A and B are shown apart, each in its own frame.
Chain A
Amino acid sequence: MGELIEAEGLGVNLGGRTVLEGITFSVRAGQLTGIIGPNGAGKTTFLRAILGLVKIREGRLNVLGVPSSRLMEVRQKIGYMPQRQSFEKSFPLSASDVVAVGLLSPATLLRKIANKDRRIRAALQSVGMGEYASRPFKDLSGGEQQRILLARSLVRQPDLLLLDEPNAGLDFPAQQSFVELLHKLKLEKGLTILLVSHDLVSVASAADQLACIDRTMHVHGRPADVLVSPYLKDAYRCQYDFLSTLDKERCGH
């Protein structure tokens, strides 16, 4: 399979407002794509469109070879880590209980989940959290919780992984190691990853492709090219100045 996501002139309205328009963009299998853009730009909405959770007003969207009208068919092959951690932090679940939530789908209604423990263990191990299975989720550090949530989005062995600001609130070393983990998962499992983040530095260092969304797609391409685009210079002035002092080699390929 060549292109896992293909959007052409994609437009989405929410609450009567145009949130996305004219998004033309594609993602090849096995790529890690960083998505950047200011707050309210429509990044989360774009991920929700790929999941089939918002209605598409115009344009075309193909995901895993299926048009947007039939996204339910491939939903099981998409792993998702939502942005808002809407859940109660003190909820009485163990790390493996949290991962188990990722196994639920219409197919598991009124059924037992097959090989549940084995799949949960494998997912926890793939993010380096094998030892934490029975630990109460609420007692884990922010960085450990993020990894558990990543395991939850991996537990159904998806082909495509959508991560909405997974490294927000982590300190710099934790952000770096989280992105390195994504890089490793991409290579080992052949995963295709869409990573929304405000952290240009770590995203640019791991991404094969960088896309900047602000209602429409402003620039996308190789990180080295996107980072020097005039658009980005305006939008991200202060981070940009910092970036330009970095060795360009680290951002490019």
Chain B
Amino acid sequence: MSEMLTYGFMQRALLAALLVGILCSTISFFVVLKRLSFLGAGISHTALGGIALGLVTGADPVLTGSVFAVGTAMSTGYISRIGKISEDTVIGIFYASGMALGIALISSFKGYYPELFALLFGNILSVSGRDLLYMGLALAGILVFVVLFFKELLAICFDEEMAEAGGLPVGPLYMGLLAAMGLTVIASIQLVGVVLVAALIVTPGATAYRLSSNYRSMLVLSLAVGIAGSFGGLFVSYYYPVPPGAAIVLVLAVIFAAAMALRPLLNK
């Protein structure tokens, strides 16, 4: 264990796991309360289109991926609002189109893209100082937004109609939440990859939701589960031949299953 911490790549990986753990479990809290789970999965798959665009054009794939992820999240919210269609339906369209764009770009520009595999399945052990900086900035920005508008965001998740009737800027705040979700997805792709990122922004909140009767404890539990999951997965992958991304998601799943099993015991 202490030997594990002497490697520079492992220290960076642990720091990344901590940052992404906090980021995802904060967003997860809202994703579960506002029922946006499918949107999370959709954003990450759409981001693949943006990442592929970066790879074939030589632009920074993290940047193009971010633009796609945030753009998808916000336009989904916008289209579902003006068209009165559910977010699920809109993202269902983006989901496949983004993936299709990624596949089309990568197969028509025949080249060798070693980064692609890492982006699909995550590669936390190769996290660079620059990646950490990006995650740190995303985390800082999102935490500021969430802390400043926490009571309003909670009210919007609970009862949008009342929030609107009270005169709150529901549209802009909701768009801000979706943008934060897009950024979180991109920041987490480093850790677990496009395919698995949805688990990170759903499982911590879902586990905490099962165990809490109040949002305060739900938020704290969500953070605990998110951080435990990303650290736990990293340890598992250090000692066993499992890729970190898969290990993190599996550890989270085990925590969720344990919470489901324990819940009847907690309830009087």
Contact B169 A82 (CB under 8 A): no
The stretch of A19-27, A88-96, A196-204 in contact with B is: A88-96
Residues of A within 8 A of B217 (CB): 92
Q: Of the candidates B148, B155, B160, B169, which one forms a contact with A106 in the assembled complex, judged by CB atoms under 8 Å apart?
A: B169
What separation, in Å, do the CA atoms of A82 and B149 have in the docked complex? 23
What separation, in Å, do the CA atoms of A52 and B149 have in the docked complex? 24
Q: Of the candidates B35, B148, B214, which one forms a contact with A110 in the assembled complex, judged by CB atoms under 8 Å apart?
A: B148
Question: What is the CB-to-nearest-CB distance from A137 to chain B, in angstroms, rounded to a whole number?
Answer: 9
Contact A92 B209 (CB under 8 A): yes
Contact B165 A86 (CB under 8 A): no
Q: Of the candidates A84, A94, A101, which one forms a contact with B163 in the assembled complex, judged by CB atoms under 8 Å apart?
A: A101
Q: Does A119 contact B (CB under 8 A)?
A: no
Contact B215 A102 (CB under 8 A): no
Question: What is the CB-to-nearest-CB distance from A155 to chain B, in angstroms, rounded to a whole number?
Answer: 11
Q: Does B164 contact A (CB under 8 A)?
A: yes
Contact B215 A104 (CB under 8 A): no
Residues of A within 8 A of B209 (CB): 92
Contact A51 B161 (CB under 8 A): no
Question: What is the CB-to-nearest-CB distance from A31 to chain B, in angstroms, rounded to a whole number?
Answer: 22
Q: Of the candidates B152, B158, B165, B166, which one forms a contact with A91 in the assembled complex, judged by CB atoms under 8 Å apart?
A: B158
Q: Does B259 contact A (CB under 8 A)?
A: no
Q: Does B253 contact A (CB under 8 A)?
A: no
What separation, in Å, do the CA atoms of A102 and B35 have in the docked complex? 22
Contact A101 B214 (CB under 8 A): no
Contact B163 A53 (CB under 8 A): no
Contact A101 B159 (CB under 8 A): yes
Counting chain B residues whose Cβ lies within 8 A of the other chain, the interface size class is 20 to 34
Question: What is the CB-to-nearest-CB distance from B73 to chain A, in angstroms, rounded to a whole number?
Answer: 21
Contact A104 B166 (CB under 8 A): yes
What separation, in Å, do the CA atoms of A76 and B151 have in the docked complex? 18
Are A51 and B165 also in contact (CB < 8 A) when A87-B158, A101-B158, A136-B213 are?
yes
Q: Does A238 contact B (CB under 8 A)?
A: no
Q: Of the candidates B148, B157, B161, B167, which one forms a contact with A105 in the assembled complex, judged by CB atoms under 8 Å apart?
A: B167
Q: Does A109 contact B (CB under 8 A)?
A: yes
Q: Does B33 contact A (CB under 8 A)?
A: yes
Q: Does A180 contact B (CB under 8 A)?
A: no
Q: Of the candidates B161, B168, B212, which one forms a contact with A82 in the assembled complex, judged by CB atoms under 8 Å apart?
A: B161
Contact B169 A92 (CB under 8 A): no
Contact B213 A91 (CB under 8 A): no
What separation, in Å, do the CA atoms of A172 and B214 have in the docked complex? 32
Counting chain A residues whose Cβ lies within 8 A of the other chain, the interface size class is 20 to 34
Contact A75 B158 (CB under 8 A): no
Contact A105 B168 (CB under 8 A): yes
What separation, in Å, do the CA atoms of A88 and B209 have in the docked complex? 13
Contact A86 B159 (CB under 8 A): yes
Q: Does A72 contact B (CB under 8 A)?
A: yes
Question: What is the CB-to-nearest-CB distance from B95 to chain A, in angstroms, rounded to a whole number?
Answer: 24
Best-buried of A92, A97, A109, A136 by chain B (most CB within 10 Å): A92
Residues of A within 8 A of B159 (CB): 82, 86-87, 101
What separation, in Å, do the CA atoms of A53 and B170 have in the docked complex? 13
Contact A82 B165 (CB under 8 A): yes
Question: What is the CB-to-nearest-CB distance from B81 to chain A, in angstroms, rounded to a whole number?
Answer: 14
Chain A's closest residue to B219 (CB) is A92
Q: Of the candidates A53, A92, A109, A138, which one forms a contact with B152 in the assembled complex, judged by CB atoms under 8 Å apart?
A: A109
Are A72 and B167 also in contact (CB < 8 A) when A86-B159, A91-B33, A101-B159 are?
yes
Contact B167 A106 (CB under 8 A): yes
A80-B165, A100-B151 given. 12 additional CB < 8 A pairs? A82-B161, A86-B161, A88-B35, A91-B33, A91-B157, A91-B158, A92-B214, A93-B214, A98-B158, A104-B166, A106-B167, A109-B169
Task: Provide a sorted-by-A list of 19 A–B residue pairs whose CB atoms are within 8 angstroms.
Answer: A75-B165, A84-B161, A86-B159, A86-B160, A86-B161, A92-B209, A92-B215, A92-B217, A98-B158, A100-B151, A102-B166, A104-B151, A104-B155, A104-B163, A104-B168, A106-B167, A108-B151, A109-B152, A139-B213
Q: Which B residues contact A (CB, under 8 angstroms)?
A: 33, 35, 148-149, 151-152, 155, 157-169, 209, 212-215, 217-218
